Amino acid sequence: MSGTAGQVIRCKAAVAWEAGKPLVIEEVEVAPPQAMEVRLKILFTSLCHTDVYFWEAKGQTPLFPRIFGHEAGGIVESVGEGVTDLKPGDHVLPVFTGECKDCRHCKSEESNMCDLLRINTDRGVMLNDNKSRFSINGKPIYHFVGTSTFSEYTVVHVGCVAKINPAAPLDKVCVLSCGISTGLGATLNVAKPWKGSSVAIFGLGAVGLAAAEGARIAGAARIIGVDLNPKRFNEAKKFGVTEFVNPKDHDKPVQEVIAEMTGGGVDRSVECTGNVNAMISAFECVHDGWGVAVLVGVPNKDDSFKTHPMNLLNERTLKGTFFGNYKPRSDLPSVVEKYMNKELELEKFITHEVPFAEINKAFEYMLQGDGLRCIIRMDP
Ligand X SMILES: NC(=O)c1ccc[n+]([C@@H]2O[C@H](COP(=O)([O-])OP(=O)(O)OC[C@H]3O[C@@H](n4cnc5c(N)ncnc54)[C@H](O)[C@@H]3O)[C@@H](O)[C@H]2O)c1
Q: Which residues are catalytic?
A: 48-50, 70-71, 100, 103, 106, 114, 118, 178, 373
Binding partner at 100 among Zn ion, ligand X, none, C-beta below 5 to 8 Å by kind:
Zn ion
Query: What are the beta bridge partners of residue 201?
Result: 225, 270
Residue 323 contact, options Zn ion, ligand X, none, Cβ 5-8 Å cut-off depending on partner type: ligand X
Q: Draw the binding track, 144-183, toward Zn ion (x: CB under 5 A; -: no contact).
A: ----------------------------------x-----
Asked if 293 touches Zn ion (CB under 5 A), the answer is no
Between residue 200 and residue 219, which ones bind Zn ion under the rule CB under 5 A?
A: none
106 near Zn ion (CB under 5 A): yes
When asked if residue 103 is in the footprint of Zn ion (CB under 5 A), the reply is yes
Rounded to an integer, what distance in angstroms lies between the CA atom of residue 154 and that of residue 312? Answer: 46
SS (H, E, C) 40-82: EEEEEEECCHHHHHHHHCCCCCCCCCECCCCEEEEEEEEECCC
| DSSP E strand stretches across the chain | 9-15, 24-30, 37-46, 71-79, 91-94, 134-136, 139-141, 153-157, 161-163, 198-202, 222-226, 243-245, 268-271, 292-295, 317-320, 350-355, 373-377
Residue 200 and residue 224 in contact, taking contact as beta carbons nearer than 8 Å = yes
Bridge partners (DSSP) of residue 350 are 373
Pick from ligand X, Zn ion, none: which does 103 bind, CB < 5 to 8 A by kind? Zn ion
> Does residue 124 sit in helix, strand or coil?
coil
127 binds Zn ion (CB under 5 A): no
- Greatest pairwise CA separation for the chain in angstroms: 66
CB of 181 to ligand X, least distance (A): 9
Q: Order of strands, edge to edge, in the sheet holding 268-271?
A: 243-245, 222-226, 198-202, 268-271, 292-295, 317-320
Instruction: For the CB of residue 254, give the shortest distance to ligand X in the complex, in Å.
Output: 7
Q: Residue 325 Cβ, how far from ligand X at the closest point, in Å?
A: 9
Task: Name which of 104 and 237 has its Cβ closer to Zn ion.
Answer: 104
> By C-beta, is 46 or 78 nearer to ligand X?
46
Q: By CB under 5 A, tell whether 296 contacts Zn ion.
A: no
- Which residues are within 8 A (CB) of 8 and not within 5 positions of it... i.e. 6 or more apart? 29, 30, 31, 32
- Min dist CB 44 to Zn ion, Å, is 15
Query: Of 3-11, 73-81, 104-112, 162-170, which part binds Zn ion (CB under 5 A)?
Result: 104-112
Q: Which of 100, 278, 282, 294 binds Zn ion (CB under 5 A)?
A: 100
What CA–CA distance (Å, rounded) separates 304 from 293? Answer: 17
146 binds, among ligand X, Zn ion, none (CB under 5 to 8 A by kind): none
H or E element, residue 209:
helix 206-218
Give CA separation, 298 vs 69, 132, 291, in Å: 19, 28, 22
Query: Using the rule CB under 5 A, which residue among 72, 92, 93, 114 binds Zn ion?
Result: 114
Instruction: Answer whether 194's CB lies under 8 Å from 219's CB.
Output: yes
Cite the DSSP H helix spans in 84-186.
Answer: 104-107, 170-173, 179-185
Q: Does the footprint of Zn ion cover residue 50 (CB under 5 A)?
A: yes
Nearer to ligand X (CB atom), residue 78 or residue 321: 321
Closer to ligand X at the Cβ: 11 or 212?
Answer: 212
* Residue type, position 144, single letter: F
* Size of the residue set binding Zn ion (CB under 5 A): 7
CB of 287 to Zn ion, least distance (A): 31
Closer of 54 and 153 to ligand X (Cβ): 54
Contacted entry of Zn ion, ligand X, none for residue 226, CB cut-off 5 to 8 Å set by kind: ligand X
| Shorter beta-carbon distance to ligand X: residue 145 or 226 | 226
Instruction: Give the separation between CA 225 and CA 243, rounded to whole angstroms.
Output: 6
How do beta strands 317-320 and 292-295 pair? parallel
Contacts to ligand X by CB under 6 A:
49, 178-179, 182, 202-208, 226-229, 232, 247, 272-275, 277-278, 296-298, 321-323
Interface with Zn ion by CB under 5 A: which residues?
Answer: 48, 50, 100, 103, 106, 114, 178
